[in-house]
Structure 1
Amino acid sequence: MFPETIGIMFDSRMYRGIPAGRTGQESLANYEQAAACYGLTPCFLRLEDIDLDHKTCLAYVKKEGRYVRERMPLPSVIHNRSLQLRGAEQRQITRLLLQGIQIYNVRNRYRKDYVHEMLRHDPFLKDHLPQAVKATPETLIYMMEHYKDLIIKPCNGSVGHGIMRLFQQNRHWKLTCETRASRKGWATFRLNRGQLPTAILRRIFHHAYLIEERIPLIRYEGRPIDLRVSVQRGEDGLWSVTGMFAKAAPAHTFVTNIAQGGKVMTVAEALGLTAPSMELFQLESRIGMVALRIARTLAASLPHLADLGLDLGITRSGQVFFIECNGRDQRYGFLKAGMKDHWLLTYNKPIAYGRLLLDQNSLIPRQPQTYDRGLY
């Protein structure tokens, strides 16, 4: 007899490391601890190991201190922590949903231009969005005429790769981008007068990019910082802010991503505050209000969202701006910032939401789920 289980779906690379406990930034112990709080046993599975015809799967379950791979009944509720980008994977996910399997965060990567467009239609959020357009040679010219500092980023990029900065300094345009020629991985090039940056044109002709005005972010020791805000559904099914921390860009670049060497710290530390204050409380409240509105707005159009990591920026005047939405928040930034309780909570709340879905399944007949396949 199998205990009541909740599925945690990894991609193959993560899955292969389970027996040796080599799962990168994913903490299996945190999943175990969170599941135990709600009377559940987590099983770790891959999409390709699901046999939908027989409603079974091959999954790892912890037994007597080690992870054992065995065939077991397919969990009726699954928290997705993998990326399914190929057409065959999307079709299999659709089959699972149509069979009534509850998968939350069913898709965890959405194109940046689509996300920006969805948020732009919310009147409240319009003032919290930087000006942004899909990159074409024409829109590039337009943005260079109207703004002196631009960020150009791939619509499908992650962890800061492929991002470029185009800015005007001393009446000359300069381009900062990743390059293998530089020891630090980044370099800045001066453009000839009247010349469009060929590196940008080459990329936007072959891939989808978004051009944004660069927000004048507050700084920590001269380096721009933004905030990662974890917004999740919990045991009541409602969105709430789990926590937030700050990320400062390395000295040699403008990108704050942790994977690019960004420094992680608490919001208080980033603002130079030695102790909690009314100023900090009010700022975090405003940030939380914007983050919750973003999550609810996205959830209204994107089904089965439950776990988001939002990047938000703050200007010196205190304005809050949306930067990016992460559907597979890596969470470990909380641990790096010394916020262990928040780190644990980022695992606990999604499992609590899974417990809610399991309880709902036991009370009402299952209804097939659907999802929009057009937003990758």
Structure 2
Amino acid sequence: MAQKLVGILLNAAVHRGVPRQKTGQESLLNYEEAAAAYGITPVFLRLADIDTDSGFCAAYIHGPQGYRRTILPTPSVIHNRAIYGTDSPGMKRLLRHVPRVFNNNNRYGKDEIHGLLAQNEELRRYLPETAKGLAGLAAMMNRYPDLILKPCRGSIGNGVMRLVRVRTSSWRWNLTYLPRGARHWATLPVDQDALPRALRTRLSKVPYLVQERIPLAEMNGRPFDLRVTVQRGWGGEWQVTGLFAKLAAPGGFVSNIARGGEALSSAYVLDTAFSSRDAAILRMSLEALSLAVARSLGQRLPGLADIGLDIGLTRDGRLFFIEANGRDQRYGFRKAGLQEIWKNSYRKPMGYARFLMEEAGPG
């Protein structure tokens, strides 16, 4: 019987590391084990190595001598783990020949996701007040004393800034930002009526969201939010694979692990910050909200099947949607000591891949 192949589409840098099994945060072993559980074989490929005319591709497949690049029929199901947007000509061409590519687009703008969720009446109340660009900043500075500015496209906290009103009797603010190439945050006093030229230029050239800063719950004086991994698995339904807490670095305001944040078990953090009863209720509410967000986005964004959601909660237990990550970096589970959930975050997509194969039938 011929092997049932599932393609794992990687970016060029990660793909180069496959023969040496040096693939950064992507675990080849987890893919192999997860795929084997569903009777399928993963092959690792780049978009440039797929010949849509012939129906063949060059991909790495594991054998007795390790990973070897081999010419293979292009898999009928592909899980995209590279960064491609809706305007990618290569991805458009691939989808015409291989329609079962899931997470084919994983570069949705924060403004696009916010706009889609704002159309859902049930989810609207979980969204922080949001505006866009320089005009939005001026309006928000008149309404809120603490603001977060973040680029509509970007990840790991790049370009995020914070504006805090320091004296309510005047229009004085502190702008906290990370200078280019620096490792430590800098703070600059600004006047609302005379914003720094660099800030005005940045917001004019790069699409930015301006949001009220949510007064996040804290553990030991460090604000935290929750990363919730939501995926389609066998059967095709959305499921919460797991969640972990992200604590901001001491004195920091962003929780991204790449910016000094720390990944910890959500059970530990919630039980520390809240009573046991409230922590249990919050966990159920977090999972229910995350499923509702995933289902809503899944109805509007074709191919969506594997996302990481950042959910904030306040000291009094209110939940807020912060952002969605189209290419969820699953290593946070491993860093939080949640080894089995980390492995399960690879099993779910492989189960979904097998489901798509079965749904398509033979041929």
Query: TM-score normalised to the size of structure 2?
Result: 0.95
Residues 1:148 and 1:48: Cα distance change in structure 2 (over 3 Å) = same
Contact 2:6 2:42 in 1 (8 A): yes
Deviation track 1:34-55 (CA, whole Å, cap 9, x = no partner) reads: 0000001100000000011110
Superposed counterparts of 1:213-292, under 5 Å: 213-273=212-272, 277-292=276-291
2:161 is aligned, of 140, 159, 164, to 164
* Partner-residue secondary structure (3-state), 1:118: helix
Cα distance in 1 for partners of 2:139, 2:349 equals: 43
Residues 1:174 and 1:181: Cα distance change in structure 2 (over 3 Å) = farther
Q: Which residue of structure 1 aligns with residue 346 of structure 2?
A: 347
- More displaced stretch, 348-357 vs 187-196: 187-196
| Superposition deviation, residue 180 in structure 1 | 4.5
| Superposition deviation, residue 272 in structure 1 | 4.4
1:147 matched to 2:144? The reply is yes
Contact 1:308 1:327 in 2 (8 A): yes
| Superposition deviation, residue 240 in structure 1 | 1.0
Residues 1:69 and 1:194: Cα distance change in structure 2 (over 3 Å) = same
Q: Which residue of structure 2 aligns with residue 372 of structure 1?
A: none
Q: How many residues align?
A: 360
Contact 1:268 1:276 in 2 (8 A): no
Q: Which residue of structure 2 aligns with residue 177 of structure 1?
A: 177
What one-letter code is carried by the residue in structure 2 that aligns with 1:149? D
| Superposition deviation, residue 194 in structure 1 | 3.2
Superposed counterparts of 1:82-121, under 5 Å: 82-85=82-85, 87=87, 90-121=88-119
- More displaced stretch, 28-37 vs 221-230: 221-230
Contact 1:111 1:156 in 2 (8 A): yes
Deviation track 1:288-328 (CA, whole Å, cap 9, x = no partner) reads: 11111111111111001110000000001111101110010
Cα distance in 2 for partners of 1:26, 1:276 equals: 36
| Superposition deviation, residue 135 in structure 1 | 1.1
Contact 1:268 1:275 in 2 (8 A): no
Superposed counterparts of 1:51-70, under 5 Å: 51-64=51-64, 66-70=66-70
Contact 2:85 2:108 in 1 (8 A): no
Residues 1:132 and 1:274: Cα distance change in structure 2 (over 3 Å) = closer
| Superposition deviation, residue 361 in structure 1 | 1.2
Q: Which residue of structure 1 aligns with residue 80 of structure 2?
A: 80
* Partner-residue secondary structure (3-state), 1:146: coil
Cα distance in 2 for partners of 1:290, 1:333 equals: 20
Query: TM-score normalised to the size of structure 1?
Result: 0.92
Deviation track 1:143-189 (CA, whole Å, cap 9, x = no partner) reads: 0000111111001111100000011123331000011586x431111
Q: Which residue of structure 2 aligns with residue 359 of structure 1?
A: 358
Residues 1:115 and 1:181: Cα distance change in structure 2 (over 3 Å) = closer
Identity level (%): 45
Contact 2:222 2:251 in 1 (8 A): no
Cα distance in 1 for partners of 2:339, 2:221 equals: 27
RMSD (CA atoms):
1.9
Deviation track 1:259-284 (CA, whole Å, cap 9, x = no partner) reads: 11101101222234499944322111
* Partner-residue secondary structure (3-state), 2:311: strand
Q: Which residue of structure 2 aligns with residue 373 of structure 1?
A: none
Q: Which residue of structure 2 aligns with residue 31 of structure 1?
A: 31
1:131 matched to 2:129? The reply is yes
- More displaced stretch, 264-273 vs 199-208: 264-273
| Superposition deviation, residue 236 in structure 1 | 1.1
Cα distance in 1 for partners of 2:271, 2:198 equals: 38
* Partner-residue secondary structure (3-state), 2:124: helix
| Superposition deviation, residue 101 in structure 1 | 3.4
- More displaced stretch, 250-259 vs 27-36: 250-259
